[in-house]
Amino acid sequence: MLERGSAVARADDEAARRRRSVALRLRLALLRCSSIVIFFALWAAFSFANARYLKFFNPVLMPSPLDVLHTGVELVESGELQRDILASLSRVLQGFGIAAFVGVALGMAVGRSRLLESLVDPMLELLRPIPPLAFLPMMVLWFGIGEASKISFIAYAAFFPIFTTTLEGIKYVDPLLLRAAASLGASRRDLFRYVVLPAATPAIITGLRLGFGLSFFVIVAAEFIAADSGLGYLINDARTFFLVSQMLLGAAVIGLIGFGFNRLLRLLEARLLRWRKTAWS
Amino acid sequence: MNQVPREVVAAARTKIRIEGVSMTFDNGVTALSQVNLELAENSFTCLLGPSGCGKSTLLGMIAGFVQPTAGRVLVDGEQVSGASADRGVVFQEYALFPWRTAIGNVEFGPLVRRLPRAQRRSIALDYLALVGLAGHESKYPSELSGGMKQRVAIARAFANSPSVLLMDEPFGALDAQTREILQEEMLRIWQRERKTVVFVTHSISESLFLADRIVVMATKPGTIKAVIDVDLSHPRERTEPGFIALERKVKHMVREEVDKLGVT
């Protein structure tokens, strides 16, 4: 009887705890929304005050959120925005695709062979500290101002984080798991396929996410220098004509796309790494 | 039925033979020195000794994870040169694949033996049920308690039908109650599916409860101090006078070795 009573009490506690945690999560979600609202409110207020009273800048240089939205609508209607988004996205996806393929494949090969590691690693360590942007003008000279220079530049920049994290993931597999698998009869191939690869998957996904972020980071710079389309071009072109709303719009669109893709990759990660997620929840 | 007559045990053929095995690590520490041992087929042997007596190293050699610096280990008359599916291993740290569910872990051996999917599943289900985990098949290791994880690991080892089962302090990380329950379960399963078991432990009571033979190991360097045949009948009761007398005797032996290590 006593035990039953305490079990009921425990269930009550559990329910109360769950209610509290739901309330807490709601409050936090509300706070997150207001954070964004506050940001736009501050921006609008400053733009309005600048135009009417403060006169810090020429009002043309400090558009309000609404002005930016208005420019967005105009650019969508003229078809220009869609064209630029597609141009940038296609470059990013191609460059990132190459980097992902080469980075993961090379990382795996190097992670499995100490010989290959001694051969490849110093070379990459030599190049890694140089900001990829330093090579951009050279790539334009080599590959011209067409698509090839931008795609190869993105591929180069995104390669490093993908390669490094894949290599680490492959190298630092728990030796105990390898022993367990070997004593269950796994061949070298089995070990790679059924132990090393799944053990390295979290690291590889992290690398891909970093690489993708970097792709977006550098595409804008590449399009500043040599392009006649793309979101970087949109921003740089607007600079020439003092179209500040268009510049802000370009930045905002890049932000939104980056956010969207990061979300997508997170979802993919949650799906692939279900086993790990359950440990945290 | 569960008690094999002693004559039969004595007449059983040698399964594992350890011949003049020594192990000196790169840093000059000698973990094992001139160890000779013969283990009969389908026997249950405990390697007992304090930490640092080389008992886990010896087990690792039988598994094929480490090679001795001198001497050799023979299983079925053949020298061990690497891990094999015929020698299953259960680790203290469970060593379950965290990305595989309980049943996925148990299926691993049949999977790398390329058995068809349906057969793999039915084997795995049987062994999970045998260790009392029916209904927990699709849980990930992170959702299981320590005792349940070790049950999965035991099922995984048995599902591969090895003829030798090597257990490296398998219950060392569990609480006392779970530990005793799993010892009983282990005996129950072993009596159903006989294998040559080598079980490393530093618990005297555990070795007396489980083993046919206890190999007491000495430290600095690791050698065999004594081999004790445990003639108590199963199921063993820890409070029986025979059990207690033997426990006292073994305790003195082990204590001498612990004292040799100095303040620990």
- Strand (E) or helix (H) holding B16: strand B14-24
Q: How far apart are CA B170 and CA B156, in angstroms?
A: 13
> A147 vs A166, which has greater pLDDT?
A166
Residues of A in Cβ contact (< 8 Å) with B140:
274-275, 278-279
Q: Which of B65, B84, B92, B97 to mutate to test the interface with A (most CBs of A within 10 A)?
A: B97
How high is the mean pLDDT of chain B? 89
pLDDT at B31: 87
Render the burial of B97-106: b for 16+ CB within 10 Å, e for the rest: bbbbbbbbbb
pLDDT band at A7 (very low <50, low <70, confident <90, very high): low
Looking at chain B, the number of H-run helices and the number of E-run strands are 9, 10
Residues whose CB is less than 8 angstroms from the CB of residue B161 and which lie 6 or more positions away in sequence, other chains included: B193
Count of residues making up chain B: 264
Q: Do A161 and A144 contact (CB within 8 A), yes or no? A: no
According to DSSP, residue A59 is labeled G
Banded pLDDT at B11 (limits 50, 70, 90): low
Q: Which chain B residues have any C-beta within 8 angstroms of a chain A C-beta?
A: 63-65, 82-85, 87-89, 91, 93, 95-101, 108-109, 111-113, 140-143, 156-157, 160, 166
Most B CBs within 10 Å: which of A179, A184, A187, as the mutation test of the B interface?
A: A184
At residue A270, does pLDDT exceed 50? yes
Count residue pairs from A and B with Cβ separation < 8 A.
Answer: 79
Nearest to A154 by CA among A218, A207, A107, A90: A218
Stronger pLDDT, B2 or A102, i.e. the higher one = A102
CA distances B28 to A161, B34, B78, B118, B246, Å, are 40, 16, 29, 51, 36
Tell me how far apart the alpha carbons of residues A151 and A144 are, in angstroms, rounded to a whole number: 11
Average pLDDT over residues A107-127: 90
Q: What is the mean pLDDT of chain A?
A: 87
Q: What is the reported pLDDT for B153?
A: 95
Q: How confident is the model at residue B236 (pLDDT cuts 50, 70, 90)?
A: confident
Place A4 in a pLDDT band, splitting at 50, 70 and 90.
low
Predicted confidence (pLDDT) per residue in B98-144, tens digit: 999 999 999 999 999 999 999 999 999 999 999 999 999 999 999 99
Q: How far apart are CA A231 and CA A213, in angstroms?
A: 15
Predicted pLDDT at B107? 96
Residue-level pLDDT at A261:
87
Rg (C-alpha) for chain B, rounded Å, is 18
Does residue B5 have a pLDDT over 80? no
pLDDT of residue A2 exceeding 70, the answer is no
Instruction: Determine the residue among A173, A176, A183 to mutate to test chain B binding: the one whose Cβ has the most chain B Cβ atoms within 10 Å.
Output: A183
Which pLDDT score, from 0 to 100, does residue A258 have? 87
- Is residue A279's pLDDT more than 50? no
| pLDDT for B220 beyond 90 | no
B153-186 pLDDT per residue, tens: 999 999 999 999 999 999 988 898 999 999 999 9
For residues A22 and B3, the model is more confident at A22
What CA–CA distance (Å, rounded) separates B234 from B1? 10
Q: Do B88 and A195 touch (CB under 8 A)?
A: no
Identify the residue whose tokens are 């203290």.
B92
| A183/B113 touch (CB, cutoff 8 Å), yes or no | no
Q: Is the pLDDT of residue B12 over 80?
A: no
Would you call A183 and B140 a contact, using CB atoms and an 8 Å cutoff? no
- Edge-to-edge strands, sheet with B196-201: B87-90, B164-168, B196-201, B44-48, B213-218, B223-229
- CA gap A218, A135 in Å, rounded: 12
β-strand pairing of B213-218 with B44-48: parallel
CA distances to A21, A66, A95, A108 from A100, rounded to whole Å, are: 40, 39, 9, 12
Phi-psi region of B50 (alpha: psi -120 to 50; beta: other; left: phi over 0): beta
Per residue in B49-68, pLDDT (tens digit) is: 888 788 899 999 999 999 99
Give the count of beta carbons closer than 10 Å to the beta carbon of residue B249.
12
Residues of A in contact with B97 (CB under 8 A): 177, 180-181, 194-195, 198
Q: Is residue A214 within 8 Å of B115, Cβ to Cβ?
A: no
Predicted pLDDT at A1: 43
- What pLDDT does residue B36 have? 92
Chain B within 8 Å of A185 (Cβ-Cβ)? yes
Greatest distance between any 2 Cα atoms in chain B: 56
Question: Does the pTM of the predicted model rise above 0.90?
Answer: no
Q: What angle do CA A259, A263, A266 make, to 5 degrees?
A: 140
